[in-house]
Amino acid sequence: MIKCFLTLFLVSLVSCNEFVPYLTWTNMEELSCKRPIQFHGAMNIQHITKEHYKKCLAPGKPNKLLIFLADQLTVEDFTYFGRNEKSFEKTKNFIKSDSSSLTASVKPIQDLKSIQSYLPSADVEVVNLKIDRSTFDSLTTSIQQMDDIVWEKLNNIGGKYVAVLTTDATHSVLGSPSERHVRIRRQSEADNKTSDVLIKGPCVFMKYSDIMLTINVKRHVMVPDSNSTQVGNCTDGNNTLILSLKSKDDASIKAKVRMDFVMKRFKTSAMDWWFLSNVTVDYNQFNQKNTVVSLKSRTFRDIISAPKNWSLVCGAPPNMTKIFAKVKDGMNLYLEFTGLQVQPFGVVNNTFGRALDCEGWFTIGIWTGLIVTLLLVTILTLGLCMIAQITTMDRFDDPKGKQLSIPQQD
């Protein structure tokens, strides 16, 4: 079979919640309607059937109309997975060998077999394809299987054909583009990510993946023991969040973490910034008497901070600590968050505001690289300066003249 395909329609790059992808191609070569590659957004199916099927393809008298009907197929399946060379690999091979193509998307079609009326010489065969969207891996596998089935079917067809790949109105996945993007682009993260703890209070919003409390050398993974409590009226610049926690592995170890947030106006930047001013851990272990420890503010004050109405995002903030010089003075304490996001002021519509990353612009690695580079450049500069000061003698011995006398002392 001659492997020269004319792609007429490819999935649209336009994300519109009322449209579905529509891809059709043919192996008929002798067509008068070949054209350069064109890209269109939403198109009407009647325009496609009349202008391209009836006027362009029907005169070629194709023997077969093969309709691949994939349930829950979306435009984003093509625009997202199409970036991967392995996705739709076999279908892409058809497209790359064509002399023209057209990009379009259509509204869900109620009766796809009605297309046959514009191609009276073709027999219709409908191939139903299953798309599993339960997980990201399942969706990826389904896309690959769909590509294999299309390739297998087309290679077993003799003669001229027209192929269509789309979804019908019954199985289309509609909804807002953002919802469909979340279904694909965020599915992988959702499958592998552990459930975060989200605290939605009247004033303070906080989300974290894990909290670890280290008492001396023993590290405990802490989980919520009861609902958190909050103190403050959200407007006076002082809000407090109290977390009630217990050890995941030992229920006898419990702790209450009090976090005080303060809003302050800085004259230099003329902006209001909030920061974590104080952290107190009230804990007990083995059902003994409670111990209250105030952690050192220098381990968190300058880090857990952001402008007003902003949230702070920190994947792995430094440990909040209290270290005693002597064992008899008390137990060393380390409080560690992972996947932290917090906003104690200016929460609007029950969601976090604009996020500030705690990493900043210059990391330790960048500073180390800059310092080492500066040191090497300084050494190189000094070396070049020393080499530039090397001079040769301005006079030399003349065998015919008087011998040079070079005094050894000044």
- The enclosing domain of 236 has a CATH number of 2.40.160.110
Q: Provide the CA 405 distance to its chain's centre, in angstroms.
A: 80
The model's confidence at residue 258, banded by pLDDT at 50, 70 and 90, is: very high
Give residue 1's Cα distance to chain centre: 43
Q: What is the pLDDT of residue 369?
A: 94
Looking at per-residue pLDDT, the higher value among 296 and 74 belongs to 296
Q: Clarify whether residues 152 and 216 are in a common domain.
A: no
Q: Which residue type occupies 285?
A: Q
Of 26-40, 178-192, 290-304, 384-398, the one with minimum mean pLDDT is: 178-192
Residue 398 falls within a domain, yes or no?
A: no
Task: Check residue 15 and give its pLDDT.
Answer: 38
SS (H, E, C) the chain: CCCCCEEEEECCCCCCCCCEEEEEEECCCCCCCCCCCEEEEECCHHHHHHHHHHHHHHHHCCCEEEEEEECCCCHHHHHHHCCCCCCCHHHHHHHHCCCCCEEEEECCECCHHHHHHHCCCCEEEEEEECCCCCCHHHHHHHHHHHHHHHHHHHHCCCCCEEEEEECECCCCCCCCHHHHHHHHHCHHHHHHCCCCEEEECCCCEEEECEEEEEECCEEEEEEECCCCEEECCCCCCEEEEEEEEEECCCCCCEEEEEEEEEEEEECCCCEEEEEEEEEEEEEECCCCCCEEEECCHHHCCCCCEEECCCEEEECCCCCEEECCCCHHHCCCEEEEEECEEEECCCCECCECCCEEECCCCCCHHHHHHHHHHHHHHHHHHHHHHHHHCCCCCCCCCCCCCCCCCCCCCC
What's phi and psi for 353, nearest 5 deg?
A: -85, -165
Residue 21 in domain: yes
Distance CA 226, CA 217 (A): 26
Q: Are 299 and 321 in contact (CB under 8 A)?
A: yes
Angle value at C-alpha 145, between 143 and 149, nearest 5 degrees:
120
- pLDDT band, very low/low/confident/very high, at 84 (cuts 50, 70, 90): low
Quick one: pLDDT at residue 165? 81
Q: What is the pLDDT of residue 187?
A: 46
Q: Are residues 177 and 272 in the same domain?
A: no
Q: How far is 142 from 136, CA to CA, in rounded Å?
A: 10
Which amino acid would we find at residue 374? L
Q: Give yes or no for residue 398 having a pLDDT over 60.
A: yes
- Whether residue 170 sits in one domain with residue 34: yes
Pair 266, 273: CB distance under 8 Å: yes
Q: How far is CA 151 from CA 68, 94, 129, 147, in A?
A: 11, 9, 13, 6
Examine the pLDDT at 12 and tell me if it is beyond 60.
no
pLDDT band at 30 (very low <50, low <70, confident <90, very high): low
Q: What is the pLDDT of residue 139?
A: 81
> Mean pLDDT of all residues in the chain?
75
Residue 325 scores a pLDDT above 70: no
Among 143, 172, 145, residue whose Cα is nearest residue 16: 172
Cα gap 404→396, rounded to integer Å: 8
Decide: residue 10, CB within 10 A, 0-12 exposed, 13-18 middle, 19+ buried. buried
Domain that holds residue 213: 197-357
> pLDDT class for 117, splitting at 50, 70, 90?
confident
Q: What's the average model confidence in pLDDT over 260-280?
A: 87
Write out pLDDT tens, residues 336-355.
999 999 999 888 888 888 88
The per-residue pLDDT for 9 is: 40
- pLDDT, residue 46, reads 64
Same domain as 155, residue 287: no
* pLDDT above 70 (res 356): yes
More confidently predicted of 378 and 147: 378
Tokens found for residue 360? 């900043």
Does residue 104 have a pLDDT over 70? no
Q: Which residue has the higher pLDDT, 282 or 402?
A: 282
Judge whether 377 lies within some domain: no
Q: Quickly state the pLDDT bin for 364 (edges 50, 70, 90).
A: confident
- Across residues 117-146, what is the average pLDDT? 80
With 0-12 / 13-18 / 19 or more C-beta atoms within 10 angstroms meaning exposed / middle / buried, residue 171 is middle
User: 330 or 350: whose pLDDT is higher?
Assistant: 350
Mean pLDDT on 288-315: 86
260 lies in some domain: yes
Give the Cα separation of 271 and 348 in Å (integer): 19
Chain CA centroid to CA 5, Å: 36
Asked whether residue 159 carries a pLDDT value surpassing 90, the answer given is: no
**Residue for token pair 């702790």:** 255
Q: Say what percent of the chain tops pLDDT 70.
A: 70
Instruction: Tell me which of 8-22, 111-125, 133-147, 376-390 is least confident.
Output: 8-22
Residues 207 and 181 in one domain: no
Q: Kindly indicate the confidence band of residue 374, based on its pLDDT and cuts at 50, 70 and 90.
A: very high
Q: Is the pTM of this model over 0.85?
A: no
Residue 216 and residue 345 share a domain: yes
Are 228 and 173 contained in the same domain?
Answer: no
Q: How confident is the model at residue 228 (pLDDT cuts 50, 70, 90)?
A: confident
Report yes or no on 279 lying in a domain.
yes
212 and 339 fall within a common domain: yes
* pLDDT at residue number 80: 64
Q: Is residue 394 part of a domain?
A: no
- Specify whether 243 is located in the same domain as 303: yes
Residues 76 and 58 in one domain: yes
**What does the pLDDT read at residue 168?**
67
Distances in whole angstroms, Cα of residue 21 to Cα of each of 16, 68, 305, 405: 10, 12, 46, 97
Residue 391 lies in a domain: no
Mean pLDDT score, 225-229: 83
- Amino acid 261: pLDDT: 92
Domain count, the chain: 2
Is residue 10 in some structural domain? yes
Domain termination residue (choose one: 187, 207, 242): 187
Is residue 166 within 8 A of residue 48, CB to CB? The reply is no
Given a cut of 60, is residue 227 above it in pLDDT? yes
- 36 pLDDT band, cuts 50/70/90, is very low
Q: Which has more confidence, 391 or 222?
A: 222
pLDDT at 359: 75
Name the residue type at position 179: E
Banded model confidence at residue 192, pLDDT cuts 50, 70, 90:
very low
Mean pLDDT along residues 84-110: 60
Last residue of a domain, one of 187, 212, 228: 187
